[in-house]
């Protein structure tokens, strides 16, 4: 499974990568982008199966990236998991309305990440089966 990890902090990208590897995802298939703009370029150029993104980033924020993904026919079905320190109620609602697949508030643990990922893939499988 190809995963794109988007965060302007290299530390957090590395932590998320470590957690994903810990959960059994292949390290070489995980790629990183430092803002929404670069992420969008990478998503257009290569096929990914999952995006894990931060909210607060320069140039293009995570919520704008999410909206851009949903607005683009080739990308709109992409599962997007938001991992952010933003725990403002309005922001969580905005993310939900923009079609986020999961929302994790930092700081978080591997267990939380696993739970949310499992939920995302279960839902996707269910909607795939009924479609």
Partner 1 sequence: MNAQVSTIAGEPLPQELHDLLNSSDGAAFEQALDVLVRQREQRMFRALGLLARDLHDAVRRLGGDLAQEGVPGSVADARQHLQDVLEMSSQAAHRTLDFAERMRPQAEAVAENANAVIDGTAEGDVAHVLAKQAQSFANECREGLADFVVAQSWQDLAGQRIKKVVNFIGSVEHSLLELVSLTGALANGEAAAAPVKVTSQDEADRLLSEFGF
> Cβ 108 to partner 1, closest distance in Å?
8
How far apart CA 59 and CA 97 sit, in angstroms, is: 22
| Residue from 1, 9, 41, 122 binding partner 1 (CB under 8 A) | 9
Identity of the residue, 84 or 101, whose beta carbon is nearer to partner 1 in the bound complex: 84
The token pair that represents 98 in the structure block: 């923009």
* H runs (alpha helix) in the chain: 10-22, 36-45, 62-71, 89-97, 110-130
Q: Is the dihedral of CA 21, 32, 43, 109 positive or negative?
A: positive
Q: Nearer Cβ to partner 1, position 3 or 78?
A: 3
Nearer to partner 1, 22 or 122 (CB): 22
Q: Which helix (H) or strand (E) holds 83?
A: strand 80-84
Site for partner 1 in 62-81 (CB under 8 A): none
Q: Which residues bind partner 1 (CB under 8 A)?
A: 7, 9-12, 14-15, 18-19, 22, 56, 85, 106-110
């Amino acid at each position: 499974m190809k995963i794109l990890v988007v965060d302007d902090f290299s530390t957090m990208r590395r932590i998320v990568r470590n957690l994903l590897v810990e959960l059994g995802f292949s390290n070489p298939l995980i790629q990183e982008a430092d803002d929404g703009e670069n992420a969008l370029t990478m998503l257009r150029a290569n096929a990914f199966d999952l995006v894990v993104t931060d909210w607060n980033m320069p140039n293009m924020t995570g919520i704008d990236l999410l909206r851009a993904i949903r607005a683009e026919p080739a990308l709109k079905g992409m599962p997007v998991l938001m991992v952010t320190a933003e725990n403002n109620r309005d922001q969580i609602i905005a993310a939900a309305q923009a079609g986020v697949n999961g929302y994790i508030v930092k700081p978080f643990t591997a267990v939380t990440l696993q739970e949310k990922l499992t939920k995302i893939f279960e839902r996707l499988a269910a909607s795939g089966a009924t479609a």
